[in-house]
Amino acid sequence: MLREEVDSPAQRTFARTVSVLGTFKLDGPLITGLALIAIFGQVVLYSATGGDPQAIVRGSLRLAIGVALMLMLAQTRPGMLRRWTPVLYAVGLVLLIVVDAIGYIGKGAQRWLDLGFVRFQPSEIMKLAVPMMCAWYLRERSLPPDWRTLLVVATIILAPTALTIAQPDLGTGLLILSSGAIVVLLAGLQVRVILALLAAGVGAAVVGWNFLHDYQRQRVLTFLDPQTDPLGAGYHIIQSTIAIGSGGLFGKGYLRGSQGQLEFLPERSTDFIFAVVGEELGLFGALLLILLYLFVVLRALFLASQMRDTYARLLSGSLAALFFVYVFINTGMVSGLLPVVGVPLPLVSYGGTSAVTMLAGFGMLMSLYANRKFAG
């Protein structure tokens, strides 16, 4: 609804901002939520690195790359993303095979592909390429998917998952698996099939146990009882629960968290940064951050539900859900709800390429939303 008279400068500024965002095909609430998380993240990161300004510079630079990519992807024309989807998936798959082969020859864990000027993880591409590919395939099929469709989608998901776990990188592998699974769930997979798959999953987990590396098994065992190995594998989780618990309601104060500042907390600036939030800013600080994430996720899901195209809404919905999966797995792991898997806290953890991936995903989401009227 438009008004004839704009009666205050604040409203005028707001209206102008909305129109500028619209021009760049950006969603105001989503951008605001992401920006607040990023700012919150950089503030916490400064403390978590022991007050290292360099880390903030590098962290912001990485965020800037992600933002640039997001803005770029937000401008793409409808259909473009969809057309390039199979190509991206194929390229990612090939790179994964290459990395595995190098790792096999070099007899060691191999996750990175060194291109000379830059190193990157092909599995990171797959976090986006798998849901894109699933959405691309399901777009042409009638939903809910039948068994044959499911079989194809399962192949699309499981191939990169298996290649990633083989690297070995259990955490990313499971994330790729869930990114695809979410698409299928959103596509309307029948409840009875979901239950059947869950049962099959439990069976597979039992069988898969035998194929896990020792350190991966150890993580699971340690999760079940961290005290069995307080100085070894359980150390991370014991120290992070101490950090969070000792933060109390209001925290020990910014830059005053002894667990983090005195380095009892391992990986304090990367995977375990949420413990720094809990320790220094307390329950209220942690809750504020969680609510920001919740807002972003719910907003993204809402945007997805507004789209008319199957590819668009499946991809957007799965990206939104995947973002939440990241947040939940990370915070769940740090607070001792889930086993320790190497999943960073989106937009807050230092380093890695996941922030770029996430922002790229939101770029695509906003592009799809801007062009939501175009049904495929």
Partner 1 sequence: MSVRGRIKDFWREQRLFEQRSLAASVVVCVLTLALFSRLVWLQVVQYDHYAELSQGNRVRTEPLPAPRGIIYDRNGTILAENRPAYQLELVPEQVRDLDATLRGLVEIGLFTPDDIDDARRIVRSSRPFDSVPIRLHLNDEEMARFAVHRFEFPGVDIRTRLARYYPQGELAVHALGHVGAISPADLERIDLGEYAGTSTIGKIGIEAAYENVLRGRSGAREILVNARGRSVDKVGALDAQLPVKEGKPGSDLYLTIDLEVQRAAEQAVLNQRAAIVAIDPNNGDVLALVSRPGFDPNLFARGLTRAEFASLNDNPNRPLFNRAVRGVYPPGSTIKPVVALAGLKHAVIAPTDSTFCSGGFSFPNSTHRFRDWRPKGHGNVDMVSAIAQSCDVYFYELANRLGVKRLGDFLGEFGLGQRTGIDIGGEKTGLVPSPEWKRSAFKSRRAQVWFPGETVIMGIGQGYVTSTPLQLAHMAGIVGMRGASFQPRLVRQFRDPTTRKVTPVAPKGLPAPDVGDAKNWDVAIAGMFAVTHGGTASRSAAGAPYSIAGKTGTAQVFSIAQNAKYDESTIGELMRDHAWFVAFAPVEAPKIAVAVLVENGRSGSGVAAPIARLIMDAYLLRKFPAANTTVTAVGDSTEE
- By CB under 8 A, tell whether 205 contacts partner 1: no
Contacts with partner 1, 58-97, as mask; x by CB under 8 A: ----------------------------------------
Contact segment (CB under 8 A) with partner 1 among 23-31, 169-177, 262-270, 342-350 equals 262-270
- Closest to partner 1 by CB, 198 vs 337, is 337
- Closest to partner 1 by CB, 123 vs 330, is 330
Binding partner 1 (rule: CB under 8 A), the pick from 22, 51, 201, 203 is 51
- By CB under 8 A, tell whether 146 contacts partner 1: yes
- By CB under 8 A, tell whether 143 contacts partner 1: yes
What are the CB-based long-range contacts (under 8 Å, 24+) for 47-50?
47/254, 47/255, 47/257, 47/260, 47/261, 47/276, 47/280, 48/260, 48/268, 48/269, 48/273, 48/276, 48/350, 49/269, 49/350, 50/261, 50/263
- Closest to partner 1 by CB, 109 vs 195, is 195
d(CA 131, CA 137) in angstroms, rounded, equals 10
- Closest to partner 1 by CB, 63 vs 334, is 334
Contact segment (CB under 8 A) with partner 1 among 12-20, 109-117, 173-181, 261-269 equals 261-269
The two beta strands, 113-114 and 119-120, are: antiparallel
Residue 287 to residues 138, 249, 271, 290: CA-CA distances in angstroms? 37, 10, 18, 5
- Closest to partner 1 by CB, 129 vs 321, is 321
Q: How far is the CB of 44 from partner 1 (least distance, A)?
A: 12
- By CB under 8 A, tell whether 185 contacts partner 1: yes
Sequence-distant (6+) residues with CB within 8 A of 338 are 223, 329, 332
Q: Give the DSSP letter of residue 1.
A: -
Q: What is the DSSP string of 39-91?
A: HHHHHHHHHHTTS-HHHHHHHHHHHHHHHHHHHHHHTPPTTHHHHHHHHHHHH
Q: Which residues bind partner 1 (CB under 8 A)?
A: 47, 50-51, 142-144, 146, 182, 185-188, 231, 239, 241-249, 253-264, 278-279, 282-283, 286-287, 290, 294, 297-298, 301-302, 304-305, 308, 310, 313-314, 317, 320-321, 324, 328, 331-332, 335-337, 375
